[in-house]
Amino acid sequence: MTATLLDIRKLSVDIARGRRALRVVNDVSLTVEPGEAVGLVGESGSGKSMTAFAVMNLFPSPLARVAAGQVVLNGQDLTSLPADALRRVRGAQVGMVFQDPTSYLDPLMPVGRQIAEPLRAHGRTDGIDARVLELLDLMELPQAVAVARKYPHELSGGMRQRILIAAALAMKPALLIADEPTTALDVTVQAGILKLLTKLRRELQLGILLITHDLAVVAETCQRVNVMYAGQIIEADAVGPLFKAPRHPYTQGLLASILSPASRAHSLFSIPGGVPIAGQWPSGCRFHPRCPIARPGVCDVLAPELVARGSGADRCHLGGEAVAADAWRTEARSGTRP
Amino acid sequence: MTAFILRRLLHAVPLLLAVVVLNFLLIAFTPGDPITLLVGDFPAPPEYLAQMRREYGLDQPLWVQLLRYLGKVAVGDFGFSFANQQPVAALIFDRLGATLELTLTALLFASVVGIAFGVIAARSASARRHGVADSVIQGAASAGYAVPDFWLGQILILVFAIGLGWLPSQGNAPVRGSAPGWAGWVAHLPYLVLPAFALSLRYLTLITRITRAAMLEVMGADYILAARARGASEWTVLVVHALRNAAAPVLAVIGYNVGFVLAGSALIEAVFAWPGIGRLLFESISKRDYPVMLAILLMVSATVVIANLVTDIVHRMIDPRIERA
Amino acid sequence: MNVAATVGTPFQRAPFLKLLLRKGSTWAALAFIAALVLAAVLAPWVVAHDPLRGGNDALLAPLAAGHWLGTDDLGRDVWARVVFGARISLTIGIASALFAVVVGVVIGALAGYFGGWIDALLMRVAEFFQTLPRFVVALIVIALFGTSVLKMIVVIAAISWPQLARVVRASVATLAQSQFVDAARVAGMGHAAIIAREILPNAAAPIIVLGSLDIAMAILIEASLSFFGLGDANHVSWGAMLNDAQQYLRSAWWMSVFPGLAIALTVLAFNLLGDALNDALNPRGAAR
């Protein structure tokens, strides 16, 4: 059995706010096997992007930092590495693709040079041009030579995203982290990118950690999925079982909002209420104010643990009970919601 | 691109013309007899004055005089300096080299050091909330900007020339005359140090300030994060990505403030007795040598207009995004 | 009917003062300016000697009896001359900045409000003035037309107004599009009233900041002009003192150090004030 590619163990990320720190990622654990695509799903504010940035310890804000836990990549704990050792890992063993390809490309540099950047940064001196063209072909971009010379603003959104992916894969890393890779793209272009990611995963045995708010993307691309809410993982499972029988009320709500009207609700469904503001988490279970089956005295007091159930795990006090199997059905609500 | 250049050139021409006209108007409307203006305070026989009057067309209507003036300027005839008994153009030309040496050195020094400090300050500010290096550099820049350059020159002389005796304080060459060729050139370099530094300081602080601001804005950009995610070294991130993207406003400030340095050179040359155009200006003011004063004004203004033009063009060349007007 | 009452003006007293006085350096700058103004106004009572009258004690070093900053080459008390020099610097600095503000605001407001050919023409003129190298022009104009305090004020104001005008024009042009201006127009307010009472109070912030920075620049230019010998000889000026000092650098360093320090500190104080005002009035304020 091959070793786990990425093992995130009890990761916590803090953001400095004045003199205190806000814990936006709380005790998160997940794994990615080689050649496997794992989804990390959540709404904005759930902490999913922060988890992704924590892998490379590269946050957009200087106020964020890894507060606890370990990130083990190919057996090596990245959190204990000094700065220059970490730099050698970035781009070489793990690549990252971001949400908006426009702002993540240097506007003043031809894209070919940007793809070549990880090659140069890690000491490679010859065959660079050939490799760049090879990558552009892999990304299914026609006229590779001409494209390599162009500036980002001369390319379309979909092409720019492929450039970002090419740059991330230049050094043949085993892991690719994709933070909302299709969110900023047109729907028609999204499908192309997702197909490309699947192809790359198969051909290169590439492990992918896919962060997204869109369950449909996960369904199409991933083998396993973790659902995040308010900084915690509240459910994890293989894609099939999760979509067929989601256990946590939040997951059920998310699925209900995207499944076709014919199968579930008769009208558009959305989970009432809003995501809690970081730092103002509800007591006990963080989802309880919005939960249709929240049990007073239990869910508003005790914080639930992640419990293994069946092929996955979930974080719900009522996890094993029958009422939890379909929390949003009107009959399930016994009028005891707070 | 060429269309843009032509358009800017076209824009610059009326400006240059306006400068020349302004010069002329200053001559025409200064209180007193215009001939006195041209001749200065020198005793001249009345027949000569009458001849000058005819020659300069002062008996003609104003617009004719203006045209004659324009004609003269176009061929480089800036009149005659009675104080120095030389044509003004030759006088200026003689001193041009010294001033160019001083101002170009100051410009170069200020740009390189200013940008370096700006980058360091920006890096310090973005790495942690209140970086020490950042605060120090910003404070020094504020203080430096407030110091009058001519006073700085005097202080430098007091400390380095008189106090420590390390560097000379006056002129640009040893009094005994300099050896020809390479040795002579090297021997005169110590003379350049203090005046160039004094001239460059305020300009330097401006450049530091704009570099820091532009870099901070750029360093928060997403593509900087992406470059780091690819394993790019700190140097690559700072210089190849950040600085290049921040270059546009920095170059704009460098280019549009050239007039600053030119003006400062007048004061610095006076303090250090540097034999350049600034010192010539100083002397001509005290001697009331009007043709020289006005010619210098014209030259300096024209230089600034051209510097602005060049800056515009370079600015446009740097950013490939702005193709059209 | 005061439509302006419905729109927030930039001066909500309490938060403005708090933001303004956030940094220690601002306190120091304000204290220095206050002390300077006080000293300038009360000059005859603050000094022990006549700044214009020399005596037999020429070139005394600092901490000499009765002359704590020493005397110059003509025996004049340096401290007295520095204090009296403040009068000229502050007068010319503040007056020319004020003058430049008035001219700049009027021209900028007209250009921004009416737009069209008025805008194009006025901004061309402003651009032309901005292109001219400020100090050299001031130098030559004063040299040609003679010097006096008033002439210096006028000349310095003439080279400072374009920058203000352009900023004012930009603010006014944006504000002129707002709804409260339309409301005022519908209510029958004339152009002048609209500009004066509705638009300008909201555009005040950059004017105040630039005004403070212009005072600093004006003081520097006045000092430079005086250094060149173009100051008003009837008054004591820091720049002129530095001119005197030039010949005596070897024998009397105090002739250069004290007036120059005065210039530097004053310019620094007004610059810091301008920066602090910018921080306090700028809606993006707190971000460094």
Taking an 8 Å Cβ-Cβ cutoff, which residues of chain A contact chain B? 56, 58, 60, 62-63, 87-92, 95-96, 98, 100, 103-109, 117-118, 121-122, 151, 153, 164, 167-168, 170-171
Q: Are A35 and A44 in contact (CB under 8 A)?
A: no
Can you tell me which residue has the tokens 């929240």? A294
pLDDT confidence tier of residue A51, bands split at 50, 70 and 90: very high
Report the length, in residues, of chain B: 325
Region C58-84: mean pLDDT is 83
Q: Are C227 and C34 in contact (CB under 8 A)?
A: no
pLDDT confidence tier of residue C31, bands split at 50, 70 and 90: very high
Full-model pTM: 0.79
pLDDT confidence tier of residue C288, bands split at 50, 70 and 90: very low
Q: Are A199 and A117 in contact (CB under 8 A)?
A: no
Contacts of A107 in chain B (CB under 8 A): 223, 245, 321
Q: Which burial class, exposed, middle or buried, applies to B325 when counting CB atoms under 10 A from its CB (0-12, 13-18, 19+)?
A: exposed
> Which pairs from A197-201 meet CB under 8 Å and 24+ separation?
A197/A37, A197/A165, A197/A221, A198/A37, A200/A138, A200/A165, A200/A169, A200/A176, A201/A35, A201/A36, A201/A37
Region A33-40: mean pLDDT is 93
DSSP code, position A109: S
Residues with Cβ < 8 Å from C44, sequence gap 6 or more?
none
Please name the fold of domain A6-228. Rossmann fold (3.40.50)
CB contact under 8 A, B231 and A121: yes
CB contact under 8 A, B142 and C271: yes
CB contact under 8 A, C131 and B305: yes
Q: Which residue of B has its CA nearest to A115?
A: B230
Q: Which residue has the higher pLDDT, C136 or B185?
A: C136
CB contact under 8 A, A170 and B230: yes
What's the pLDDT score for residue B32?
64
Residues with Cβ < 8 Å from B175, sequence gap 6 or more?
none
What's the pLDDT score for residue C6?
30
Largest CA distance in chain B: 84
Rg (CA), chain A: 21
For the stretch A204-253, pLDDT in tens is: 899 999 999 888 889 889 999 999 998 899 899 999 988 888 888 888 88
Mean pLDDT of chain C: 82
A336, pLDDT greater than 70: no
* ipTM given for this complex: 0.83
Residues with Cβ < 8 Å from A117, sequence gap 6 or more?
A91, A167, A170, B227, B230, B232, B236
**Nearest CA among A129, A124, A137 for reference residue A165:** A137
Q: Which residue has the higher pLDDT, B77 or C254?
A: C254
Which three-class secondary structure state does DSSP give residue A293?
coil
Q: Which residue has the higher pLDDT, B64 or A163?
A: A163
Helix (H) or strand (E) holding A208: strand A207-212
pLDDT confidence tier of residue C287, bands split at 50, 70 and 90: very low
Q: Which residue has the higher pLDDT, C256 or B319?
A: C256
C104, pLDDT greater than 80: yes
What's the pLDDT score for residue C138?
86
What's the pLDDT score for residue C94?
94
A337, pLDDT greater than 60: no
Taking an 8 Å Cβ-Cβ cutoff, which residues of chain C contact chain B? 127-128, 131-137, 139-141, 143-146, 216, 220, 223-224, 227-230, 242, 245-246, 249-250, 253, 256-257, 259-260, 263-265, 267-268, 271-272, 275, 288
CB contact under 8 A, C228 and B304: no
CA distance B239 to B260: 27
pLDDT confidence tier of residue C226, bands split at 50, 70 and 90: very high
> Does chain A reach chain B with at least 3 CB pairs under 8 Å?
yes
What's the pLDDT score for residue A248?
87
What's the pLDDT score for residue A21?
87
Q: Best mutation site among B150, B156, B157, B257 for testing chain C: the one with the most C CBs within 10 Å?
A: B150
Q: Are C173 and C115 in contact (CB under 8 A)?
A: yes
**Nearest CA among C196, C213, C215 for reference residue C204:** C196
**Nearest CA among B8, B24, B28, B14 for reference residue B71:** B24
Report the length, in residues, of chain C: 288
C2, pLDDT greater than 50: no
Q: Which of residues 145-164 of B touch C (CB under 8 A)?
A: 145-148, 150-151, 154-155, 157-158, 162
What's the pLDDT score for residue A338?
42
Mean pLDDT of chain A: 86
Region A77-96: mean pLDDT is 90
What's the pLDDT score for residue B36?
63
Note down pLDDT in tens along chain B; length 325 residues: 677 778 878 877 888 888 888 887 877 777 666 566 566 666 667 777 777 766 666 666 777 777 777 777 777 777 777 667 778 888 888 888 889 889 999 999 999 999 999 999 988 887 766 688 888 998 999 899 999 999 999 999 999 888 888 888 888 777 666 667 777 777 778 888 999 999 999 999 999 998 998 888 888 889 999 999 998 888 888 888 888 888 888 888 888 888 888 888 989 998 998 989 888 888 888 777 777 888 888 888 888 888 888 888 887 777 655 543 3
CB contact under 8 A, A108 and B320: yes
**Chain B nearest C-alpha distance from C39 (Å):** 21
**Chain A nearest C-alpha distance from B283 (Å):** 49
pLDDT confidence tier of residue A331, bands split at 50, 70 and 90: very low
CA distance A226 to A232: 10
CB contact under 8 A, B222 and A104: yes
Q: Are B187 and B233 in contact (CB under 8 A)?
A: no
Contacting subunits of C (3+ beta carbon pairs below 8 A) = B
| Helix B258-272 and helix B181-219, axial crossing angle in degrees, nearest 10 | 140
Which three-class secondary structure state does DSSP give residue C191?
helix
pLDDT confidence tier of residue C14, bands split at 50, 70 and 90: low
- As given in the structure block, the two tokens for residue A117 are 């950047």
Region C78-94: mean pLDDT is 91
Q: Where along chain A do the CATH 3.40.50.300 domains lie?
A: 6-228
Domains of chain C: 16-40+80-286 (1.10.3720.10)
Contacts of A92 in chain B (CB under 8 A): 231
What's the pLDDT score for residue C279?
80
Q: Which residue of B has its CA nearest to A164?
A: B226
**Chain C nearest C-alpha distance from B76 (Å):** 20
E strands present in chain C: none
CB contact under 8 A, B297 and C140: yes
CA C19 to chain centre: 22
What's the pLDDT score for residue C168?
86
